[in-house]
């Protein structure tokens, strides 16, 4: 437990202090947000707000993780390292996207194909390595089986597994990116998912098959370190949210949104809860579905289901205040996370 507390506390402190420093540096260099012309008119006032704040989240999380291991004199694990690699790699893709937007003074950074290529390269490295590195009990960070509350069914073999993991990584990194449309929305929505994985990792540690075999024990390679990773990123995110809450003084940009999507996808793979993530991150899934529905329906009928997609902009154009949308969406995100945790723990409930 001390590992988790140190990681969260150090990352929180570094992010809380580092974010205003980054704000001043980015503002001085002119690293401000460009606003889409076709976006809600209320967003024009946000033009020039410092962006790329995701760099602070990533750096604070990495240092928080390192501080945790230094304080407890323990070595980092392969599972934790792979999830952090995924986060950092996707952050680099997002940073490049943000930098191009700023350098060329436009709302479009990397072209969609180039961004997807970067996500796929980073994701493929993660997917290939995550089924290697068995420990002394022959447990690897992940297996080539699908998972919900734990692994189930037969192995789907390596290539289909890699494709499946790539779908998860690209899907959830883009889902968080779409959620990052209002001040503090993505931070809050992903924060509850990360908090869920702190609890899940800690529970899996207490009920590990390595410690005691039982009907419901977990074959997870490094559950404690995965909880430490989740806690470090959560702490960094909370510190950033202090400055990102409405009205935001800084935006995370694609640097942060892609990194956060990668972290939750990586945690889902390594904790063997791949399909459960759809429920835990239900708010991000709903927002992504709104875009899919809008685009698909428009292509078929030349009509729109929503005033604007993603979903949060529909409610903006319906006259809802931005803070009202953010808080209500946070509540929905919390309910989704609570539902996911309830499903995770339900198999431990006494059977009458």
Cβ-Cβ contacts under 8 Å for 1 (sequence gap 6 or more): 202
Helix 158-179 with 78-104: angle, nearest 10 deg: 50
Evaluate whether 263 touches 173 at the Cβ level (below 8 Å): no
Q: Is 177 annotated as a binding residue?
A: yes
Whether cis (ω within 30° of 0) applies to the bond prior to 310 is yes
Helix 158-179 with 185-206: angle, nearest 10 deg: 140
Give the end-to-end CA distance of the chain in Å, rounded to a whole number.
32
Tokens standing for 180?
């990052």
Q: Is 202 annotated as a binding residue?
A: no
DSSP run (H or E) holding 11: helix 2-29
Tokens standing for 266?
């990586």
List binding-site positions.
Answer: 177, 254
List binding-site positions for Mg(2+).
Answer: 177, 254
């Amino acid at each position: 437990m001390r590992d988790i507390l140190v990681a969260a506390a150090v990352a929180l402190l570094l992010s809380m202090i580092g974010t205003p420093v980054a704000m001043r540096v980015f503002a001085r260099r002119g690293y401000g947000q460009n606003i889409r012309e076709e976006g809600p008119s209320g967003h024009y006032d946000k033009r020039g707000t410092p962006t790329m704040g995701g760099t602070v989240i990533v750096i604070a999380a990495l240092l928080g993780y390192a501080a945790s291991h230094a304080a407890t004199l323990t070595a980092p694990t392969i599972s934790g390292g792979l999830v952090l690699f995924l986060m950092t790699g996707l952050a680099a893709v997002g940073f490049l996207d943000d930098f191009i937007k700023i350098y060329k003074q436009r709302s479009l950074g990397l072209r969609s194909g180039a961004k997807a290529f970067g996500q796929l390269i980073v994701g493929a490295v993660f997917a290939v390595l995550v089924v290697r590195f068995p420990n002394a009990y022959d447990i690897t960070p992940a297996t080539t089986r699908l998972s919900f509350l734990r692994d189930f069914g037969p192995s789907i073999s390596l290539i289909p597994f890699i494709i499946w993991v790539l779908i998860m990584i690209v899907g959830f990194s883009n889902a968080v990116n779409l959620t990052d449309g209002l001040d503090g929305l993505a931070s809050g929505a992903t924060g509850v998912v990360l908090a869920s994985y702190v609890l899940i990792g800690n529970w899996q540690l207490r009920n590990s098959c390595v410690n005691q075999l039982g009907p419901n024990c977990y074959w997870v390679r490094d559950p404690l370190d995965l909880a430490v990773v989740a806690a470090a990123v959560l702490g960094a995110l909370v510190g950033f949210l202090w400055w990102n809450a409405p009205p935001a003084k800084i935006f995370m940009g694609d640097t942060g949104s892609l990194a956060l999507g990668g972290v939750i996808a990586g945690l889902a793979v390594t904790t063997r809860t791949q399909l459960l993530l759809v429920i835990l991150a239900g708010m991000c899934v709903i927002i992504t579905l709104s875009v899919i529905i809008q685009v698909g329906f428009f292509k078929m009928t030349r009509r729109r289901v929503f005033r604007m997609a993603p979903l949060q902009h529909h409610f903006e154009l319906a006259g809802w205040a931005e803070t009202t949308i953010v808080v209500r969406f946070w509540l929905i995100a919390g309910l989704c996370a609570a539902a996911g945790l309830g499903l995770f723990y339900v198999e431990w409930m006494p059977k009458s």
